[in-house]
A and B are shown apart, each in its own frame.
Chain A
Amino acid sequence: MVRLRRAVPALALLAAGLAARGAAQDTTRAPRPFVEGGVFDKPYLSRLLGRTAIGGYAEAHARWERADGATEEAGFLLRRWNIFTATQVSDFVRIAAELEFEEGGEEITVEYAAIDVGIHPALTVRAGMLLSPLGRFNLSHDSPRNEFTDRPLVSTELLGVALSEPGLGVLGLVGLGGATRLTYELYAVNGFDDGLISDAAEGTRVALGRRNVEDNNSSPALVGRAAWSPRVGYEVGVSSHHGAYNVYRSEGVAVDERRDLTIWVVDAEARVAGVRVVGEAAAATIDVPPGLRGIYASRQRGLYVEALRPFGRAWVRTMPGSFFAAGARLDVVDFDADIPGDVVRRVTVGLNFRPTQDTVLKLNFVRGRTTDRFNNPSDQAGLLFSVATYF
């Protein structure tokens, strides 16, 4: 009898949790998140009824990759194991964090840890280690949510996804009537550092300038994104990151010329005939030190476009919530827009199976071509299988 008295509230809690989870999956009834798949749109958040929620995601790969007829990699990888926490501190204050373990623990980083103080739906103050709103993908890059094993090249190679920076700023949402809305985020952040040059052996690599945890030059950068969405599943966003990346002042003395990095990104999402189409295009302008011009690029650009078509819902009878999805993605990154070569192009086709919305098995075939600075081509192919799940 005592056991039963204890079990009833527990069952009630479980039922409530499941109901909340079911509601979260029903997009017609759940409140629409600020960013779909963003920091406060994780499945674990709906599971716990207490003040603090803990969850995460894991991602494991099997990879077989070849280049110019030779096997480059054939092996297994625990790519990521991430832990999330989120706490509703009060009606107006919440805090979230993400701790990331990459490559089997070789790299451990605090990817996100920020405090939100909500003043009004149109104005929230956010401070901490932020996910920079530079393109939509950086804000929503969890592996269980993405449809392909590897992230878009433009995101990883040109924008440095996952790009998180210490910073402070504001975000908000403005309703424009009906389902139409405008969202914005604007932060002052530490910005990139000169690792994008000094740690880069193959010419300018913006991604190597991230992780500027202790601001190298005491000169904040600005990053912001504005997105217009007429309804769920349709959005156009514009974002930019601008700031000095080098140490040009030390103890009040000018020690170098100020050199800026400016990145612009346009992202879009739409649904056409049951196919979800997502893409981003990015362009970076880098002030390169005069002694490195001609080898280190001052202009880079890239894009990705992917299309995904779900099918076969409940084909697996034992998994009524399961479905398949077939998709394709095009990646292009031009590491030096002033010469014909130094370009990566890649096409990925994939077939996914989701036993539930939060778990995905991905099978991808990748075919790509890179060119060196002489424009000599090298061909790559890969067969990638991965499993990713929220927990």
Chain B
Amino acid sequence: MLEIRDLHVAYGEIPALKGISLSVATGEIVALLGNNGAGKTTTLKTLSGLLAPRSGEILLEGESVRGMPPHLIVRKGLAHVPEGRRVFNRLTVRENLEMGAYTRSDAAVSADLDRVLSLFPRLGERRAQVAGTLSGGEQQMLAIGRALMGSPRLLLLDEPSMGLAPVLVEQIFETVGSINRQGTTILLVGQNAALALDIAQRAYVLETGAVVLSGSAADLARNQDVRRAYLGEM
């Protein structure tokens, strides 16, 4: 589904990614772990075209999308739920969802709308409301639902649990699991490493712009370094 080879990205002169390679197979949930500044968000932004890599290759289903503008990468079946949700505050919930399906004109859009509303019934209740008036949890649901409206094959999720109450966090992760079971491949950036490792099959650990560990989620969850650094154990 997705393959990244030796990706280098810099903000001006400051390197952010120093040669990252990773892959995501169709149907997987892969987690990307690491501390602030490790390069997780930078990786996702580069994948969706918001940032341009210095060098390296990005293959989406075998096709290079490196250097493509974001609005064209979306059409290749990739959706990116950005950090901090970034819903359109001045648009209604319904309009936000419509924007998620912006590239589509097929008949299945209304079926996808039903699917999103059944995943997140709250969004249906608040359909006519302006997104800026939603709670943080509802905005996260909207951001995920909006991305699903594009019927993506690969979904990039950046910190879907940030700033949410624990109950909501679990609910969001459960939904992420069911989205995956319905056939969407997911690359997940997780602040909450325990939950991320719980639903992911595999994971990569980033440190200062490089992959320092990778493997099955179960192995990483048992790894002493990971437990100490990301699962809060002493």
- Note whether A and B form a binding pair: no
- The residues of A with any CB-CB pair to B shorter than 8 Å are none
